[in-house]
Structure 1
Amino acid sequence: MYAALDIGGTKIAGALVDEEGRVVGRAQRPTPAKGSAGVLMGAVGSVLDELARDPGWGVIRGLGIASAGPVDTVAGAVSPVNIPAWRGFPLVDEVRAHPMLFAGIEPVLIGDAVAMTAAEHWLGAARGFDDALCMVVSTGVGGGLVLDGRLHPGPSGNAGHIGHISVDLDGAACPCGARGCVEGMASGTAIARRALASGWVPPAGEPATAATVAQDARRGDALALAAFDRAAKALAAAIAATGSLVEIGVAVIGGGVAQAGDLLFTPLRRHLDSYATLDFVRGLEVRPAALAQDAGLVGAAAAARLLADVPGPHRRLDPA
């Protein structure tokens, strides 16, 4: 049994995952993204406390942490773009110090999108592909790569971080410091922001979120449909560029925005045909993630499983 944390801009999720990759216990808290570092860590501790009340906690062999990035897997630190109070935050040290964690259990840090990639390649939509891009499209946009059949996290754990490549050189400034990033055009918050800016108004009593935009898009609202089309176009440009660079065979997309289904994937595939024009990129397949919201947790557990018997602090996930 392995424990897993999945930390994002919207929620902090925890799970117990068995050797077959099945989630057998859960806990979750909202992410206090505007709170202090201590408040944020308090939410993480609360998730761990709830997991520790599960009988399965007593037999865990490892703990994996998937976090929004950038991450520094060597230092065990995180600097999520959407969590301002955490800049170089020593998350591994803080989790290791939690009173419910057993001696000898060494937390393993991995980027959330790399975790999703590990899970989808192990059990999901990228299974059987030697070269794949997996993306999380949610509050932010992240990604991870499988190359030559192996997870490729890179030296710091951030390889494949597609959300912060630019697809619009004159685009809006991104919190990361660049302009025109994919995240600023295709994340859930970006979809809602774009819809509002174009004149869309959410139904009375409904929040202005990507999920609400999706509800109106399904009813045929032109402004809501246009917001999803713009997001799909940005994703298509980034996927085609990645395919041109490293010759992937499939792009797998998960996260909350992917739950919109055909509202996202139909225009995405159409735009991809316009961008993926070179012979070796044409025909690049796009698939929805098979593991849905559990991919980050399963991937974090997979990282812990791989390294459960490797000693030493701040271990790196060996891409081999």
Structure 2
Amino acid sequence: MHSEGTAVRVPAAEGLVVALDIGGTKIAGALVDSTGRVLVRALRPTPAAEDGETVMRAVAEVLRELAADPRWARASAVGIGSAGPVDASTGTVSPVNVPGWRGFPLVARVREISGGLPITLSGDGVAIAAAEHWQGAARGYDNALCMVVSTGVGGGFVLGGVLHPGPTGNAGHIGHISVDLDGPLCPCGARGCVERLASGPNITRRALEEGWKPEDGSEPTAVAVAASARAGDPIARASFERAAQALAAGIAACATLVEIEVVVIGGGVAGAGEVLFGPLREQLRRYATLSFASGVVVVPAQLGTDAGLVGAAAAAFSAAAASGGPTGGRGAVLSG
């Protein structure tokens, strides 16, 4: 199937959409206006180890908290960026890190709660690509890979100046490129995936297996590993260097396939700063060796923790503009 992509077109007139950013750690929601401004927020932890209905109840709590704000009445659409895989053609999601959701009819369930608002579903990486290309670090670039490195690793493409989500909304899902053919088994069923080596939980897991412990006895997290790495702990540094190597191999593969100019990286792990970006740039020089791939630039995302929400909103506004309404007439699925 040939996909032309979808331009991120946001209407000049005032508008408001509901945005959901659903990941393995948190479920965030917001009311977002057509300038990308977040007006009100709601947040719940993701009960990822629980059954699907328990996870859905957390989503419903976020939506109902937003609906309690009087500005909800102005919302004309819902944008959802979800950990993937997603299937925008059927409105279902099967996040690797949320085992209770397999083929879960998220769009239908959110539509019931939202009172029938049109809904745009995309993978969380695609949402971040939409956000960073609209008003972040990928702005002005025609060819970009935008990534989230957090509980999982996702990504989305801007190609030829337009968002390229693919037919099901998963294009750019770099987290499940295998970069170590004999590597550890990934929950997706493959071995040596980028996510299995470079996500926050796996950075922490590797450090713990090698004997690292948090300096102050606090909970072991990727943030704590990053702090130890900055302080010079060799095990912590090695865990981040291994993650950087995996990310570099995946990025080089993408650059070789589609000639991206810039890679934008956000998510909690990107908050480690040069502990991640320093070895990542070094490793990328080793992997992206062909002339047309070697010039790719790697930069941190600019929109921080709001990127998923702003991107989900951008996708909803884009679908709305394509369907001809003021902020969207009928619903439109962001797809090829």
For the superposition of Structure 1 and Structure 2, which TM-score range results when normalised by the shorter chain?
over 0.9
Aligned residue in 1 for 2:88: 73
CA deviation profile, 1:236-292 (whole Å, cap 9, x unmatched): 111111101110000000001001111100110011111111111112100100111
Aligned residue in 1 for 2:292: 280
Q: Matches of 2:329 and 2:35 in 1, distance apart?
A: 23
Q: Matches of 1:24 and 1:225 in 2, distance apart?
A: 39
Consecutive unaligned residues of structure 1, counting only runs of 5 or more, are: none
Q: How is 1:142-221 mapped onto 2 (pairs within 5 angstroms)?
A: 142-221=154-233
Contact 2:168 2:335 (C-alpha < 8 Å) held by counterparts: no
Is structure 2 residue 235 aligned with structure 1 residue 223?
Answer: yes
One-letter code of the match for 2:191? R
Give the C-alpha shift of residue 306 in structure 1: 1.9
Secondary structure in 2 aligned to 1:46?
helix
- Partner residue of 1:53 out of 57, 64, 68: 68
Q: How is 1:214-293 mapped onto 2 (pairs within 5 angstroms)?
A: 214-293=226-305
One-letter code of the match for 1:32? P
Q: Matches of 1:129 and 1:56 in 2, distance apart?
A: 34
Which shifted more, 4-13 or 213-222?
213-222
Root mean square deviation of aligned Cα: 1.2
- Partner residue of 1:16 out of 31, 35, 52: 31
Q: Matches of 2:162 and 2:120 in 1, distance apart?
A: 18
Secondary structure in 2 aligned to 1:277?
coil
Give the C-alpha shift of residue 205 in structure 1: 3.5
Contact 2:169 2:335 (C-alpha < 8 Å) held by counterparts: no
Aligned residue in 1 for 2:130: 118
One-letter code of the match for 2:74? V
Consecutive unaligned residues of structure 2, counting only runs of 5 or more, are: 1-15
Contact 2:270 2:276 (C-alpha < 8 Å) held by counterparts: yes
Is structure 2 residue 38 aligned with structure 1 residue 26?
Answer: no
What percentage of aligned pairs have identical amino acids? 63
Secondary structure in 1 aligned to 2:21?
strand
Give the C-alpha shift of residue 312 in structure 1: 5.6
Aligned length: 315
Give the C-alpha shift of residue 24 in structure 1: 1.3
One-letter code of the match for 2:106? L
Give the C-alpha shift of residue 102 in structure 1: 3.5
Aligned residue in 2 for 1:39: 54
Give the C-alpha shift of residue 218 in structure 1: 1.5
Contact 2:128 2:307 (C-alpha < 8 Å) held by counterparts: yes
Aligned residue in 2 for 1:141: 153
Q: TM-score, normalised by structure 2?
A: 0.91
